[in-house]
Structure 1
């Protein structure tokens, strides 16, 4: 069976040789360098104890220095599974999600045509390079000189010039005996709509050859010399050789440079790539004038595990970076990610290099941020979250994005990182951390207006309501720690509670930060951060020790009821304090019946909250000894006792 042109190239580019080989060998991690795709293991084809089998994941080849076995992913499957070449292709295609093509009797003919098209493209490269050195190319030479490209660089990048005129290249190639259908098939000319001769695709443009990973010229990019031209940059149309969404400018040289340890940098255009490479950043590529596509991202990951997207420092560059996030999230896997380096506002890499040199670019690259931070920036920048509804909308948007990640481990880490960032955004600023013991000595009490002597002596404070609030906070925290599954439902309320005890404040902050963890993990993190005595002291409090939530950890209904009730009491107490503070201001001005009535109303509101007006909505009553009694069971018991009493009366 013959395969269509390009099928094997795409199959090899999609497959990771280290993953294919990794199913058959045990890697020697002391000798391997996974970040560079340089892997070593004992050879699977002959018995040995040393790691002489080498896999170069970036180049896609393996070699054994013992038995001299060598090949690519297809060859490895063929030899290790003892199957034919086509069977190995089918196995690998299934693994990478490619559909085997139907039998094509003309495949060889098509391959021959692709070879012919590539030869025509090489002739075009030479023609354009010659034209740059003619009188017609004087303005183009001046332009590239102003951009800092001297003779050696022009040779390295094979930069040329397409002169003005409709049939210059067409006439040149036809004069060399090149068939018309090959010129048209290579995308170098277009048929006339008026019945005349075909006309050149590129006219009055500086020409940049685009080569594939194997070094074949597959397309051109042209930069217009006329400032009034509708298209500043123009790429070849898609052909049998060229698929714009699956190609990268400078692919082959960048792969070689990345193999030598250089970071892979993704810029926007040809001149950015050339400027970066000439400044020493050889592993630089560009996505050919389009937003980065999924196949292009896969190609980048074949070159490097963590490419750096270095986009222009303008609104368009930032929008392009944001689009990469949506493409990359579903594709993330362990060790494969993306970082973002945004250039200074109004500059691209080429501008920055010419203005400040390569050190300035290196500084920007060193400050590249991980994708999760840019995702957070996209969802929060320029927005105000001053209400629970807006905060909930942010949470929903971020959850929807994180759900796109298929790898459960990465999804979990993204969730934790987002939670940390959310914490930093919504928590009030606190004094600089000075260590746990020092923080405990800080004054965590909320500031309040000084009370007059009349208020201090009133019945409203005689019962030490502040102490009862500390008890409530302790019960709330202990209940949340015992059943952390419900923390997310009460997150906003937990953020609002004021802790007069510094241990409670530290514990609340940690519970909110780590709340998505399992109960055992949450307790372990609390012990690590605050010390084991923190939980010991909390559970030693009598009102915490007898709490049903602490005795029955994991009971979500009980935890929800307890948190809702205790938080409602704290809300009522805050409202009472606000009422007292307001009445206090009026105390010196009006000591009349209205003032007394307001104090009475505030006291009654607090009394109702303390008695828990919501108890009729719960399934529990409180017994004389303070224990909770299931209301349904109590009603059944009362009915039974009443029936027994009635029967005794009948007798």
Structure 2
């Protein structure tokens, strides 16, 4: 038996029907051929699957070898070689048909089934079933023109489908009484074939056969090759429990591996149309009639892995356009969980969420195709919808809630198999996390003299009605120390990248006062965990900020920098600097709050509170060598104030450094 490429191969006939179609659907011919050729980038259009290269089968310098990745065929205009992925592997690897199938099946993650001696018989049976389905399509189309279908025609007209559109989509009608079973048996079609095609079934009550589709508008479902494989039927009775009903699983129809409008959408996507994934038949028809011809829909189920692979064969970034109700959002979230493990470079999803209460058909009818186009243009990447799912409607006002968010997002990102994509998702999540929590820190507007600024910039304001020149000078001295500590923290995290992620939460809460420090802080949070943290920072900010930071004297003499590479010294240094900075700023905030409360008449309590806070900042401003402060000797041998030692121990405990652990001397 000769195949469609002129090859005679008995092995082909021994494989189960549909296996080779599934294998071709899962594979990208461009990827298979790309291992053997170098694409001509000037002539190729990879976005459309239109690829050109010098032919691997004969010596040439010009790119006359053409691959149509969407249709899965190649052809050389020089030597006239042609075929599909199986043919290409056979010719280039010098293997037989079954060996080529095994090679490709391994790449596609499929298991080659045992040879079936009845495979050809089954293939012939499938051909017969396709013919039965085509007869059913024509029968239902004729029934739509009868008097019994008047209500169905009125419904389609109300939905905006003209007679021409109904003909284009081959829409039909299954009458309430009689039907395709009687029609086909009257033409001599075996009843078993009608059952196998999913058009009729045996009654559980023993009353014989009955038509599966009754009193329904019928939408034919065709595979990528245009063969009728099933039906979707919409009930005319508004109270029917099953508004839409699909063909059952048959030798032709596997609803988890099929898409409505697959063939026409693939062709339109190949011409540059964006691939849109809608929820149902009418949405696909409405979108296509409005000009969005590369539109498909799953068949009565949530989108499956196999359907995603089919979509990615048509376009690298399908747009999921689901209804704007709760069910539509839940469906979008389910798609994310299915898609994450399957992501590859250049292969993802975007989401266009309809306005609440509207589906694509409603939107086009009420606001026009332009409104739909605008939604598609604004479709968001999958990572943003993942973030929205984990954060929308939730508050993160405690470390425990933040930790729960981190855990949930980490678990999802772990599902991504590709390490590069996993890394980029992690960075995108860090960016959004930084934005969320940094925005949350802005204080509410308070009634005060002068213009309001965010709370973290309060040190810039001159709002103290009782501030003396001495207290201002002390505050200035403390601020200088804050700047030094910030610099040491940032430099240590950059030079000790293995330790830095342990202090992510502390870094996130750091209110950097220096613009350069803020840039480095944000950059660090984006790239914590990167393979080369220093290179990532230089790539974002250039070399100047890093050189300026590391050139400062107080940074160079820090034990963590002098003894670079010692993770424990770096860990202790970071814990100590964060502890001292947090303590000092907590005291400074006491002054800030007290001053803000002095908008009325000061009482003795407020005056005492302000004096005590000023004394604390006074001590902080004198530096660590002042003997008048209360000190404790830390386990690392450094002098620390008792409140700083407490903060230091708490921070070490948070990062899992037990109190009894041996701590090296700095």
TM-score range, shorter chain: 0.7 to 0.9
Distance 1:467 1:196 in 2: 92
Please give the residue correspondences for 1:52-451 in structure 2 after superposition, counting only pairs within 5 Å: 52-165=64-177, 167-428=178-439, 445-447=459-461, 450=464
Quote the residue 2:452 is aligned against: none
- For the pair shown, which has the larger CA radius of gyration, 1 or 2? 1
1:568 aligns with 2:579: yes
Q: Structure 1 residues 256, 499: CA separation in 2 closer, same or farther (over 3 Å shift)?
A: closer
Quote the residue 1:489 is aligned against: 502
Quote the residue 1:645 is aligned against: none
Distance 2:143 2:335 in 1: 38
Please give the residue correspondences for 1:513-524 in structure 2 after superposition, counting only pairs within 5 Å: 513-517=526-530, 518-524=532-538
1:96: Cα distance to partner?
Answer: 1.3
1:465 aligns with 2:481: no
1:510 aligns with 2:501: no
Structure 2: state its 5+ residue gaps: 1-10, 443-455, 640-661
Quote the residue 1:617 is aligned against: 635
Quote the residue 1:649 is aligned against: none
2:319–2:349 CA contact under 8 A, matched in 1: yes
2:588–2:617 CA contact under 8 A, matched in 1: no
The C-alpha deviation readout for 1:35-87, integer Å capped at 9, x for no partner, is 11111111111111111000000000000000000000111111122222222
1:260: Cα distance to partner?
Answer: 1.1
Distance 2:564 2:216 in 1: 73
Deviates more, 1:123-132 or 1:608-617: 608-617
The C-alpha deviation readout for 1:4-62, integer Å capped at 9, x for no partner, is 11111111111211111111111111211111111111111111111100000000000
Residue 220 of structure 2 aligns to a residue in which SS? strand
The C-alpha deviation readout for 1:217-256, integer Å capped at 9, x for no partner, is 1100000000010100000111111101000001111111
The C-alpha deviation readout for 1:512-535, integer Å capped at 9, x for no partner, is 33444424314414642xx61x33
Structure 1: state its 5+ residue gaps: 432-441, 623-630, 636-651
Quote the residue 2:453 is aligned against: none
Distance 1:414 1:261 in 2: 27
1:446–1:498 CA contact under 8 A, matched in 2: no
Say what the alpha-carbon RMSD is for the aligned residues.
Answer: 3.1
Distance 2:472 2:183 in 1: 104
1:322–1:375 CA contact under 8 A, matched in 2: yes
Taking structure 2 as the reference length, the TM-score comes to: 0.85
Distance 2:64 2:415 in 1: 40
Distance 1:290 1:320 in 2: 10
1:449: Cα distance to partner?
Answer: 5.2
Distance 1:111 1:462 in 2: 86
The C-alpha deviation readout for 1:151-185, integer Å capped at 9, x for no partner, is 211111110000112x4322111111111111111
The C-alpha deviation readout for 1:500-547, integer Å capped at 9, x for no partner, is 44433343333333444424314414642xx61x33443343222211
1:559: Cα distance to partner?
Answer: 1.6
Distance 1:357 1:248 in 2: 26
Taking structure 1 as the reference length, the TM-score comes to: 0.87
Deviates more, 1:543-552 or 1:45-54: 543-552
1:565–1:612 CA contact under 8 A, matched in 2: no
Distance 1:506 1:305 in 2: 34
Residue 459 of structure 2 aligns to a residue in which SS? coil
Quote the residue 2:647 is aligned against: none
Q: Structure 1 residues 176, 48: CA separation in 2 closer, same or farther (over 3 Å shift)?
A: same
